[in-house]
Copies of this chain bind each other. A is one copy, B any other.
Amino acid sequence: MKMIIAYIQPEKLSDVKQALYAAEVFKLSVTNALGCGQQKGYTETYRGVDIEVNLLKKVRLEIAVNDDYVQPTINAIVKGARTGSIGDGKILVMPLEQTIRIRTGETGAVAIG
């Protein structure tokens, strides 16, 4: 099992969700994050003083999937999030050793979906 973490542009969330549904990935968690990457920031000014804003608003997805779902999931995220311009985001894949569904106590592959 793998844990897939993806950072995407906030406004892309609904597209990504649709792409994931199409790939039959229904379960995921979303948090919002501030990100600093290749994408350049912008300057705000407040009462005449400049502020370098280099932490940009991003949405963070966390998706636990079985191994055979890894590639489809990645493809779906890319499909939904890519615009080709800087800031599109990043996908990170990490090993996942165990999953437990709290309600039933089921574990492993069955618990994931």
Contact = CB atoms under 8 A, between A and B. Distances in A.
A69 interface: no
A98 B93 CA distance: 5
Nearest to A36: B28
Given A90-B111, A96-B92, A102 B8 contact: yes
A97 B96 contact: no
Contact of A84 (B31, B64, B98, B103): B103
B3 A30 contact: no
B36 A27 contact: yes
Interface in A93-113: 93-103, 105, 111
Q: Nearest 4 pairs between A and B by C-beta? A: A93-B98, A88-B103, A88-B102, A91-B100
